[in-house]
């Protein structure tokens, strides 16, 4: 089939990429801490998970008094490769616009840690990991986890690193949920916090979009009840549909219209077929098909579930109670065109923090890029992060 010497069979490319991704589950291209089976992680569900493995990356140097550590919490489909080449895709780090030498989160000054979340597929324990009880990958035997569980696992990592207090914990989207959970559960361990483009709970619409994604995955016969590891088939079609649906929520309608509008893809007229006539169709299909090369479908199910369960108000009775007695300095950031976690949701966080007289600033950034704005080139956002961290570093006595 190789009619051209420069082209490769796309199915081969997919298989190779997916195999490379699967290798990250057990042999991640990053640091790894493997806690022994005798030290299980007690989950919010009451179940234990053991052994617990956490894969993580660090950037910069920890100073002598261990006061300059920043924990970056990643979003649904992110990972520990925040500011360096991704081992599967070969692309740059997902937040390298923000994190690196001389960047707003300056790794010349700060020691940055980013761990693959519990439930992920890049080396931390997740549904693709080996279940010691069976010797096979967990699949749906993996326990349902929460954002709180993710944070508890990260706290274990910090214990291991000997870091008592973080200078800052920073994250957008689900990363922001982890930030909030950190501030609620480990009040003394967080000097400053930046929850970005996030929410203190998942709304009905948030849950609805996730449920569509999960149903798309589980409707794919190749999902095989979650036991597809080691078989020839992966639920790539279902996962691609899930990714496509989710991707629409990451962009604003205006961004979609400005970028794609009704533009046609490599043609002058409608094809009167089901081809990807429109640029937006071609773009979404591409988003779907590249995602499945690097992400595990079961991880997608578990992480979306954790997000849907996230509700700090329910956990603490009243949202403000989550922050009672906090000494953390907060900077809450939202983006005007984000309709996934709109400014309204972010303001609920600010309101609750004000309710306990916390030290909080709030910045709503004008952007037409939608939820994804937090990952993109937004100068005012960068200035906000840099300014907040530098002022706090001075207060903390970080050189």
Residues that bind its own copies (CB under 8 A): 45, 47, 140, 143-144, 201-205, 207-209, 211-212, 214-216, 218-221, 237-238, 240-241, 244-245, 248, 253, 256-257, 259-262, 270, 272-274, 276, 278, 280-281, 284-285, 288, 301, 305, 308-309, 311, 314, 339
Where would I find the H helices in the chain?
Answer: 10-26, 147-161, 174-185, 204-219, 236-250, 253-259, 279-294, 297-309, 312-316, 343-355, 379-396
Q: 110 or 209, CB closer to its own copies?
A: 209
67, 168, 173, 337: the catalytic one is 173
- Nearest approach in angstroms of CB 209 to its own copies is 6
Nearest to 326 by CA among 351, 349, 359, 348: 359
Rounded distance between C-alpha atoms, residue 182 and residue 196, angstroms: 14
Rg for the chain, CA atoms, rounded: 21
Write the CB contacts of 23 (distance below 8 Å, at least 6 apart in sequence). none
Q: 121 or 169, CB closer to its own copies?
A: 121
Q: 96 or 311, CB closer to its own copies?
A: 311
210, 236, 371, 372: the catalytic one is 371
Asked if 370 and 339 count as a contact pair (C-beta separation under 8 A), the reply is yes
- Nearest approach in angstroms of CB 218 to its own copies is 7
160 is annotated as an active-site residue: no
Q: 17 or 256, CB closer to its own copies?
A: 256
Go through the chain and tell me how many residues it has: 399
Asked if 218 and 304 count as a contact pair (C-beta separation under 8 A), the reply is no
Burial (Cβ within 10 Å: 0-12, 13-18, ≥19) of residue 140: middle
Using DSSP bridges, classify how beta strands 69-73 and 111-115 pair: parallel, antiparallel or unpaired: parallel
- Nearest approach in angstroms of CB 267 to its own copies is 13
277, 338, 345, 372: the catalytic one is 338
DSSP letter string, 254-295? HHHHHHTTT-BSS-SS--SSSS--BHHHHHHHHHHHHHHHH-
270 is annotated as an active-site residue: no
Write the CB contacts of 12 (distance below 8 Å, at least 6 apart in sequence). none
Rounded distance between C-alpha atoms, residue 262 and residue 239, angstroms: 26
371 is annotated as an active-site residue: yes
CB atoms within 10 A of CB 115: 29
- Nearest approach in angstroms of CB 99 to its own copies is 30
Q: 117 or 193, CB closer to its own copies?
A: 117
Q: 6 or 272, CB closer to its own copies?
A: 272
- Nearest approach in angstroms of CB 283 to its own copies is 9
- Nearest approach in angstroms of CB 30 to its own copies is 29
Q: Which residues are catalytic?
A: 173, 338, 371
């Amino acid at each position: 089939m190789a009619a051209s010497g420069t082209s490769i069979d796309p199915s081969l490319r997919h298989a190779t990429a997916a195999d490379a991704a699967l290798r990250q589950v057990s042999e991640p291209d990053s640091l790894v801490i493997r806690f022994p089976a005798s030290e299980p992680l007690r989950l919010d569900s009451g179940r234990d998970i053991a052994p617990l493995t956490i894969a993580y990356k660090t950037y910069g140097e920890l100073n002598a008094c261990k006061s300059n550590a920043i924990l970056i919490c990643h979003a649904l489909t992110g990972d520990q490769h925040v500011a360096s080449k991704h081992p599967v895709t070969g692309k740059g780090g997902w937040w390298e616009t923000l994190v690196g030498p001389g960047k707003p989160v300056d790794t010349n000054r700060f020691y940055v840690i980013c761990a693959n979340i519990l439930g992920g597929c890049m080396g931390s324990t997740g549904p693709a990991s080996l279940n010691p009880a069976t010797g096979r990958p967990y699949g749906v035997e993996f326990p349902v986890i929460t954002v709180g569980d993710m944070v508890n696992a990260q706290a274990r990592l910090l214990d291991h690193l000997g870091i008592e207090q973080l200078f800052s914990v920073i994250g957008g989207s689900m990363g922001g949920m982890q930030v909030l959970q950190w501030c609620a559960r480990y009040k003394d361990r967080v000097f400053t916090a930046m929850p970005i483009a996030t929410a203190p709970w998942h709304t009905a619409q948030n849950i609805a979009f996730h449920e569509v994604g999960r149903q798309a995955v589980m409707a794919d016969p190749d999902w095989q009840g979650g036991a597809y590891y080691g078989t020839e088939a992966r639920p790539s079609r279902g996962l691609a549909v899930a990714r496509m649906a989710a991707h629409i929520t990451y962009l604003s309608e205006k961004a979609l219209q400005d970028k794609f509008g009704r533009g046609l893809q490599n043609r002058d007229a409608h094809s009167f077929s089901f081809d990807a006539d429109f640029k937006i169709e071609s773009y979404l299909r591409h988003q779907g098909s590249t995602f499945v090369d690097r992400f595990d479908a079961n991880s997608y199910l578990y992480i979306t579930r954790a997000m849907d369960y996230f509700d700090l108000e329910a956990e603490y009775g009243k949202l403000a109670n989550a922050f009672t007695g906090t000494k953390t300095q907060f900077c809450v950031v939202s983006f005007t065109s984000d309709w996934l976690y709109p400014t309204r949701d972010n303001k609920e966080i600010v309101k609750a923090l004000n309710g306990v007289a916390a030290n909080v600033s709030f910045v709503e950034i004008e952007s037409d890029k939608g939820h994804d704005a937090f990952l993109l080139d937004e100068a005012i956002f960068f200035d906000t992060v840099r300014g907040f961290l530098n002022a706090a570093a001075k207060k903390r006595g970080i050189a």
